[in-house]
Structure 1
């Protein structure tokens, strides 16, 4: 069952209103009760003082005459009744129980020291009938309770209508989203004349649409590039086969050469397909064999040992700086480093040095692995797109016959799989490309390999 914001808001406002009115009613009820109690006590205190004065002035009278004077006083006081106790607790005046037939009464004890003469008195007990005040207090309580309930219902009805009115911009916003054309990814919702509370929602929605458009464009470009990359070797194979079929006198050497070319094209297609499958699996998080590598220099050295022949061929040197530990998939880290080092060897100046930096201080909570080579700097406008699938800077750098443009995209996928990001920059003649992974614990060491 779907929950309504308007209904919940009206219920919450009603509950708060009822609670507020109930607190005010309780406070008012308590104030009336205190005022009545204070008034009763003052009445009893005045009555006690008056009775004491009567007993003090008429101490020499006979008891019947003295108690008659007290009766006259009590009649003038209305609903106050009195009882006098002797020194031994016996009742000298009044009934055994004051106002025995009255359900609600207040009592008061007053000492009578030194009064009574031959009939010494100990204390005076007074009682007052408060039934009428109690009825008034109950009436006030019922009225407060009814007022709280009526007020709560009224507030619920009014707040429900008010909430639905205030939520109209949100409903309007929903209709705008429903009216969006899925094929028009450039459409945006304007935030002018909208409530301030909707600004963050509209802003985030527009950003989301921008990302969707960007991803859609990347997907379109990716599909186009995939078709182009696979079409080239397929077209080449098709043409080659047609030519072979047209040859009437095909010698074994020509056939061997044609088969060798076909095999190269098929291997190239296989590399593209395998790379695409890896990107698909990596984006779905299917690689999760993460283990703590105490020294990230170890997979780096493994890759460099594998690349040693390529380094010697171009008379290049290698340097490794820094050390750190991280929880990673060692094989994936090797693959990312292999792609980066291969690019660095391909574009480095002959006789120069390729540097790999393992830095744990540049980015808090992350370890950065950077591969640097001296060579032609990458254009600034191409740096943000380096990690897009099939993106190539230019023909002079891509070596399209050997490179299908997925190497850096794989590096980016591996970096994000480890909670990091790829990066690239040019510092003068140095091209620095790398990626980051989450940090495990610090190490500091420099290793050099000439």
Structure 2
């Protein structure tokens, strides 16, 4: 049958089914990419948030350190005057433009000399103890970040404690705005990723959907159809090629089944017609007892032929579905072939044909099936041996590292090369001249192939210059 390529699709898959994550790769990939985007956005935002917070704290620390140094310098310059009006004026100039800058100065004995706000609650850090200011709370409940240092330089200010702090409300405001911005970015990124991922995956899976739609059009009546090769997508090329190979095997099996059914009908029609005709003639008029006995004998022979055909058909059917040979045991092929040759002694003597057996091999197999295969090969060779007197039939047994072989050689009409592959087909008898001599029903070599297949083996045949060799191989 000619091959055709599917070009038109079947009805498209519903959108609801396409977006169901339980049964849609597109939906699962879209959600996976969206979750990855959320994780990436969140991790990036958290890292940037941490970096921004650290930078703001570093700026605050530098600012506090600079103001502490200025206050120390002012104290050193004030000398004996200490914290007087001039000092307060200069300190006000230092604090100008920094409304969130707070300063406290304590004397060596703990007296509060200067305070720009009520004293804070809690302890302070020092300039050498941390890379960031210490957090503490003022009396009004606001939070600040600052440091306290003790002046160690000799002079009037020696031993005084200077505390400088900055309000952190600005830092909190900046970080809060940043958190909100990152949250919005993550939300928008998630939505954008879902949309873009859905579009990208749907476009990416478009060839797959097209292949599925085309495959859905294949029916038992259109087994000759084939999927297109899949374009430039290497994965789809392999998928389409594998599917087409499966279709090819299915089409061949379907064709063999149709041919088998036709052959069976043809083979059964002749004996059934003969049976019906004989019975009709018998019922038409009285017959002598001897004639009835002869007719019954003929009918019995036809029934046995029908029974043999049905039995062989059932055996081949089991082999077709992959049944393997059971009850295997280690046997000698030469010994089994010798028993078959001995069974054929009468027929061989009547035909004036001798049989030579060469070689031997040990193989694990079903003894009965192997004998049946050898018997069919020997029977086939005996039917088509020619010559006056007929040339001897040779049974040759050999082996390799992985398999054993048994072949039967006979002298007779050369089989056309085009017919050799069909020798093992069911009900095949070759040329009419050969078929006329064949009283069997054409399943002998097909059974040989089935037996070889049940042992993991194969069959082969060759014919040249009046010599035909037919045999089988069995895996060790």
Larger mean Cα displacement after TM superposition, 311-320 or 330-339: 330-339
In the superposition, the TM-score normalised over structure 1's length comes to 0.73
What is the aligned partner in structure 1 of residue 46 from structure 2? 26
Q: Distance in 2 between matches of 1:124 and 1:436?
A: 101
What is the aligned partner in structure 2 of residue 267 from structure 1? 304
Is this contact kept in 2: 1:59–1:116, CA < 8 A? no
Q: Distance in 2 between matches of 1:415 and 1:109?
A: 98
What is the aligned partner in structure 1 of residue 409 from structure 2? 373
What is the aligned partner in structure 2 of residue 364 from structure 1? none
Larger mean Cα displacement after TM superposition, 227-236 or 175-184: 175-184
In the superposition, the TM-score normalised over structure 2's length comes to 0.70
What is the aligned partner in structure 2 of residue 304 from structure 1? 338
Q: Distance in 2 between matches of 1:219 and 1:176?
A: 25
1:339-366 deviations in whole A, cap 9, x for unaligned? 44544555567334311234343xxxxx
1:52 positional shift: 5.1
Q: 1:351 aligns with which of 392, 399, 405?
A: 392
For residues 286 and 355 of structure 1, do their structure 2 counterparts lie closer, same or farther at Cα, with a shift above 3 Å needed? Answer: closer
What is the aligned partner in structure 2 of residue 448 from structure 1? none
1:40-119 matches, cutoff 5 A = 40-51=60-71, 53-54=73-74, 57-58=76-77, 61=80, 64=83, 75=95, 78=98, 79-81=100-102, 95=119, 97=122, 99-101=136-138, 105-106=144-145, 114-116=152-154
1:318 aligns to 2:357 (yes or no): yes
The unaligned stretches of length 5 or more in structure 2 are: 1-15, 18-22, 125-135
For residues 120 and 203 of structure 1, do their structure 2 counterparts lie closer, same or farther at Cα, with a shift above 3 Å needed? Answer: same
What is the aligned partner in structure 1 of residue 462 from structure 2? 426
Secondary structure of 1:24's counterpart equals helix
1:235 positional shift: 2.7
Q: 1:15 aligns with which of 18, 31, 35?
A: 35
For residues 299 and 195 of structure 1, do their structure 2 counterparts lie closer, same or farther at Cα, with a shift above 3 Å needed? Answer: closer
Number of equivalences? 424
Secondary structure of 1:354's counterpart equals strand
Secondary structure of 1:403's counterpart equals coil
Q: Distance in 2 between matches of 1:436 and 1:80?
A: 98
1:198-232 deviations in whole A, cap 9, x for unaligned? 55555445444443332222112111110111122
Q: Distance in 2 between matches of 1:423 and 1:407?
A: 13
- Root-mean-square deviation (Å): 4.5
1:125-178 deviations in whole A, cap 9, x for unaligned? 754433321221122122112221123224324544565566566555555555
Q: Distance in 2 between matches of 1:91 and 1:331?
A: 116
Secondary structure of 1:229's counterpart equals helix
1:314-344 deviations in whole A, cap 9, x for unaligned? 321223444455xx65544554454445445
Q: Distance in 2 between matches of 1:350 and 1:209?
A: 46
1:75 positional shift: 2.7
